[in-house]
Amino acid sequence: MLDAADSGPGAFLLQNAVTPEFVADCVVKALAEERFLILPHPEVARYYLNRATDTGRWLQGMRRLQASMQTMKGK
């Protein structure tokens, strides 16, 4: 999915991208462990943990992010 990202607007994604092989290994491991939720990217897993452990703070952060995006959109 990121093959053309090196020169396009998605280039910033390459810095933290995980490989398809890594994702496949995570899926196989999760299936063997009979886990439903599979979050192979460590940053996404952290976001999910934060959301689950402190929902109020997470919602506050999402509201701030949404407000900042709306501000940027209006410029």
Give the type of residue at 10. Answer: G
Task: Answer whether 48's CB lies under 8 Å from 36's CB.
Answer: no
Q: Which three-class secondary structure state does DSSP give residue 4? A: coil
pLDDT value at residue 24: 93
Cβ neighbours of 48 (radius 10 Å): 13
User: DSSP state, 11?
Assistant: G
Which tens digit of pLDDT belongs to each residue from 4-54? 666 666 666 667 778 889 889 999 999 999 988 888 888 888 888 888 899
| CA-closest candidate to residue 35, choices 47, 48, 16 | 48
User: DSSP state, 75?
Assistant: -
